[in-house]
A and B are shown apart, each in its own frame.
Chain A
């Protein structure tokens, strides 16, 4: 599962160019990816609601503390179409985190739960090319992650480590661009996104850049007849995520940040009113700095409704 590569930036650049090429070659939106929310389709004056349950565990700990981080998240996303080209979204996670760590030969468990940081963003469609049974759209997006989650939770041992806190404590703006091509047979989504994490109490988490791609292929029904009961899609997604090093009082933490590539096989069952979705996100490449804790498997299951 683990594969360390020395040239993460070269990989990032190649994957970026490849995804751009694939996206623009198809040159030309409904189902939407599992691992990112920015491509969710919504009509003017309509709402879309997504609830996703995410189970994640940490992978190998290169350090000596045998850290094991388990996180359960329930992420609620509400989108509203202000205009046929402008949509706004809000996302609020509930998190339950537990960290097992060995310190001075003693195994400790540090845990917390509660609401995380609220994210709000807007998306404006600048390119829309519709044809019979197909559509191509490009939309820049911008938003901010607000420090609504608790960031100074403590237990009997004192303040919890940052990775266990439910919230980041900082206001973090982000922006990007998302492109979607959808036909009756398949859908392709691609996104470039950058989040600039700001500092709080002298701690500055590294900025996060990500490149996401999603391919959804209709498995059932094989041929389209009226009425269409629903579509079952097979999904394959890729997420290339790079995080810079954290800073403590201006000093870089050498054991933080790095690059991870996830692959996500999954499914979508799509009807006119609701969608069921699920998949397993697998970290296939991890090039992390120092003793940064590696990522483990991430399970994503949820639903969406139109109303």
Chain B
């Protein structure tokens, strides 16, 4: 006769398994859903002249992502602008942005740091 599981495993084991499973889930679930997002550096809004079709945007995006310290690039073709998000503690200066845009084959029109307001939202720092 095969003994029942409840007979071989005392009730305290069930509690231990539940606790272990809970710890495992807490550790295993992707960090971004439970932990706070990784720190993000400054953001810059860049206006690019000459950007006029989707095929052009790839060059801009790739050139900025090749720069050390750039975390993400978002391009808005209709407005001809790019949002460059840096890693924490990293900055981008206007001259580097100008050279990068030029290497992609376009012309830099404007370069503006984007600041966060009191609610955490980002707003462009108008000159």
Contact = CB atoms under 8 A, between A and B. Distances in A.
Contacts of A43: 59, 62-63, 103-105
User: Which of A29, A43, A228 counts the most B-chain CB atoms under 10 A from its CB?
Assistant: A43
Nearest to B59: A43
Contacts of A306: 55, 58-59
Contacts of B56: 29-30, 41
Interface residues of B, number: 27
A81 interface: yes
A184 B54 contact: no
Interface string A38-69: 00011111100000000000000000000000
A29 B106 CA distance: 10
A294 to B, nearest CB: 36
A230 interface: yes
B22 interface: no
Nearest to A224: B78
B50 A135 contact: yes
B105 A270 contact: no
A130 B106 contact: yes
A84 B54 contact: no
B102 A84 contact: yes
B80 to A, nearest CB: 5
Contact of B57 (A128, A272, A304): A272
B54 A135 contact: no
B54 A270 contact: yes
A272 B55 contact: yes
- Max chain A C-beta neighbours (<10 A), residue from B54, B62, B102, B105: B105
A225 B78 contact: yes
Contact of A228 (B77, B105, B109): B77
Given A130-B107, A226-B77, A272 B58 contact: yes
23 contacts: A30-B52, A30-B56, A42-B105, A43-B103, A44-B104, A45-B63, A46-B59, A81-B105, A84-B102, A128-B50, A130-B106, A133-B52, A135-B52, A135-B106, A225-B78, A228-B77, A230-B54, A231-B53, A270-B55, A271-B54, A272-B57, A272-B58, A272-B61
Interface of A: 29-31, 41-46, 81, 84, 128, 130-135, 182-184, 187, 224-226, 228, 230-231, 270-273, 275, 304, 306
9 nearest CB pairs, A to B: A130-B50, A43-B59, A30-B53, A130-B49, A135-B50, A224-B78, A130-B107, A44-B103, A30-B55
